[in-house]
Amino acid sequence: MTMDVLASFPSPSEGVWNLGPLPLRAYALFIIVGIGVAIWLGDRRWVARGGRPGDVMEIATWMVPFGIVGGRIYHVITSPQAYFGEGGDPVKALFIWEGGLGIWGAVLLGGVGAWIGCRRRGIPLPPYADALAPGVVLAQAIGRLGNYVNQELYGRATDLPWAVEIDRDHRPADLLEQATYHPVFLYELLWNVGVAALVIWADRRWRLGHGRAFALYVAAYTVGRAWIEALRIDPANELFGLRLNEWTSLLVFLGAVTYFLLSARLRPGRESPDELRARRTDQRSDQEAAV
């Protein structure tokens, strides 16, 4: 006996609002809000570690564009059929507002952008990443609301009372008569909030430094991503029966745990404010000498 559909919750009917000639897309709006939260929280944590106000915002001007481009590239590479397969449209690879940003591509190229920004400011990357880690995962949580609005990132069909209703136009072709599905976007949103809380707590409890807070975020996030991916039913390329994102999560998890343990052994404790200021001074001295 299945539960009544009224026990589920509906999806938004629209994801675009027209402000005169300007379309306001909910997916883009949530990404922008998430970036703002990450910068705000990251700046507070960076200043508390001994950094200067404004550093996080300055570095974000490099990190954010790199991250968005990297996220889109990862999505297109791992799901190329919609763009380059039969009936695909390569131009749509540029339509970021329709959804599709891969977190690992965003982290990889976003990290490159952060490294460039840190180098220009004379700031070591690991403590900057530690300060930013909880904000990054909170930004991911907020971004999942964009998936909700776009009626994407849902899982297997279910009649659970917290199921999400998906409009017929957004349902899989073989499940057109099934209206409710696992709200995978919500599962990941809640998991990400929990990861942010974990990183903040662990950082206060053990004063994580030298990139370990960021490594903890990555490891904890990948654990959740593994079981969340197992619920998804959207088309995805697989290798030995696992989705590519699951393999990526496994490899990234192992890398993050290895880094955390080695860093804890080789460089215990956290960078002092004096170390951060000394690094900035040394960097500026090198730049002046080069001129």
Instruction: Check residue 290 and give its pLDDT.
Output: 44
Which residues of the chain are under the pLDDT cut of 70? 1-6, 97-99, 277-291
- 3-state SS of 93-149 is HHCHHHCCCCHHHHHHHHHHHHHHHHHHHCCCHHHHHHHHHHHHHHHHHHHHHHHHH
Hey, what are 94's tokens?
């540029």
Cα(129)–Cα(111) distance, integer angstroms: 9
Cα 29 to Cα 35, 119, 170, 187: the distances in Å are 10, 30, 21, 21
Instruction: Check residue 289 and give its pLDDT.
Output: 46
Hey, what are 217's tokens?
């975020």
Instruction: Check residue 272 and give its pLDDT.
Output: 84
Structural contact between residues 133 and 213, judged by C-beta atoms closer than 8 angstroms: yes
Instruction: Check residue 238 and give its pLDDT.
Output: 76
Instruction: Check residue 282 and give its pLDDT.
Output: 54
Q: At a CB cut-off of 8 Å and minimum separation 6, what does 142 contact?
A: 30, 31, 33, 34, 37, 189
| 3-state SS assignment for residue 157 | strand
Instruction: Check residue 63 and give its pLDDT.
Output: 96
The sign of the dihedral angle between the CA atoms of 246, 68, 136, 183 is negative
Instruction: Check residue 288 and give its pLDDT.
Output: 45
Instruction: Check residue 142 and give its pLDDT.
Output: 97
Q: pTM, whole model, 2 decimals?
A: 0.88
